[in-house]
């Protein structure tokens, strides 16, 4: 396995390695693996019967059904495949905000690095897209464990600055990646919601499984400022000095409307939405994410 990198905790990994990152919907990989494929094939999990047509492999005929019906039927099985996972990191200026060192960006890097390590350990491919103001750094998915070193080095070099390029990056990903994949987006999603939800709809229309981690700092949720403060827009040069007590109620009202709209759009388009506050234990966040997905796959028809 590749070097662990600055964003991994070996103890956290030891406690999470028994879990598996599963896709909620059939995937299209290049080799056999853990995940359901939309194509039929030969494996141990029976799916359905279909009528025999000339040219089919007669070894797959079910002679017991023929004895009962005097008709030829072939057994179809679920083909299993490997997962290709794209991790999308928002590297806009607002991701610098936070009460902990490195802000939301550092927390996001830990989430992505840990998930990428787990993905590689289970034999699946992981790639990285760092969405920046005018461009995006992309590392295509690879199954080679040594590929993790390249991914970790990219995380190390990524800084939060400028306006968000997330919407452009997600639309571009939806257009370019035609084979089904798992797309994991980590961001604070401080952008216009309608264009953002259009991105989500675009990815889901292309049959990608989309999961998002919505990172928030406790100060953004509670707005517990008790003296005049200069608020600086981290994605532009704008700033304003105000008395927090005079705007707190309206801020919280607008902020909760924003959260409600985002959650509602994710529910409408079948997006796996996870709100994360950066003072929460990221190990618990990831464990819940992995366990819930595994349970959903195990109980789905």
Lowest mean pLDDT among 7-11, 41-45, 64-68, 133-137: 41-45
For the cut 50, the answer to whether the pLDDT of residue 207 exceeds it is: yes
Mean pLDDT of the chain: 86
Closest CA to 88 of 121, 115, 55: 115
| Residue percentage of the chain with pLDDT more than 70 | 85
Closest CA to 75 of 88, 65, 89, 67: 65
Condensed to tens digits (0 to 9), the pLDDT of residues 92-113 reads 999 999 988 889 999 999 999 9
Condensed to tens digits (0 to 9), the pLDDT of residues 137-184 reads 999 998 887 899 999 999 999 999 999 999 999 999 999 998 899 999
Domains and CATH numbers, the chain: 10-23+83-299 (3.40.50.410), 35-81 (no CATH)
Assess contact for 73 and 50: CB atoms under 8 A: yes
Distance CA 120, CA 84 (A): 10
pLDDT of residue 267: 97
54 — pLDDT class (breaks 50, 70, 90): low
231 — pLDDT class (breaks 50, 70, 90): confident
For the cut 70, the answer to whether the pLDDT of residue 80 exceeds it is: no
Which residue is it, tokens 């492999």?
Answer: 57
The average pLDDT across 244-248 equals 90
16 — pLDDT class (breaks 50, 70, 90): very high
Confirm whether pTM is higher than 0.75.
yes
pLDDT of residue 64: 82
Burial of 250 (0-12, 13-18, 19+ CB in 10 A): exposed
Question: Which own/partner contact pairs does 4-7 have at CB distance under 8 Å and 24+ positions apart?
Answer: 4/117, 5/113, 5/148, 5/149, 5/152, 5/155, 5/156, 6/152, 6/156, 7/109, 7/110, 7/112, 7/113, 7/114, 7/152, 7/155, 7/156
Q: Quick count: other Cβ atoms within 10 Å of Cβ 259?
A: 15
pLDDT of residue 1: 39
pLDDT of residue 135: 78
Condensed to tens digits (0 to 9), the pLDDT of residues 21-44 reads 999 887 654 444 444 444 444 444
Assess contact for 283 and 112: CB atoms under 8 A: no
pLDDT of residue 10: 94
Assess contact for 262 and 214: CB atoms under 8 A: yes
């Amino acid at each position: 396995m590749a070097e662990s990198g600055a964003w991994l905790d070996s103890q956290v990994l030891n406690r999470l390695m028994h879990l598996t990152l599963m896709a909620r919907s059939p995937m299209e990989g290049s080799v056999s693996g853990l995940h359901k494929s939309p194509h039929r094939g030969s494996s141990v999990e029976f799916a359905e019967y279909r009528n025999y047509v000339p040219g089919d492999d007669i070894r797959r005929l079910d002679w017991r059904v023929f004895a009962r019906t005097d008709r030829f039927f072939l057994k179809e099985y679920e083909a299993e495949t490997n997962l290709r996972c794209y991790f999308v990191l928002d590297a806009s200026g607002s991701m610098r905000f936070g009460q902990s060192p490195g802000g939301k960006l550092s927390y996001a890097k830990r989430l992505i690095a840990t998930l990428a390590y787990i993905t590689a350990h289970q034999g699946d491919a992981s790639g990285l897209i760092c969405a920046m103001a005018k461009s995006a750094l992309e590392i295509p998915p690879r199954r080679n464990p040594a590929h993790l070193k390249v991914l970790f080095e990219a995380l190390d070099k990524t800084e939060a600055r400028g306006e968000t390029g997330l919407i452009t990056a997600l639309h571009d990903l939806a257009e370019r990646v035609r084979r089904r994949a798992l797309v994991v987006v980590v961001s604070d999603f401080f952008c216009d919601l309608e264009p953002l939800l259009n991105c989500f709809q675009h990815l889901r229309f292309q049959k990608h499984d989309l999961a998002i981690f919505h990172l928030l700092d406790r100060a953004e949720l509670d707005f517990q400022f008790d003296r005049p403060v200069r608020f600086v827009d981290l994605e532009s040069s704008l700033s304003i000095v105000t008395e927090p007590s005079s705007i707190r109620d309206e801020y919280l009202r607008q902020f909760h409307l924003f959260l409600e709209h985002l959650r509602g759009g994710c529910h409408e388009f079948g997006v796996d939405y996870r709100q994360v506050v950066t003072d929460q234990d990221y190990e618990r966040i990831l464990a819940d994410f992995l366990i819930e997905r595994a349970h959903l796959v195990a109980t789905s028809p």
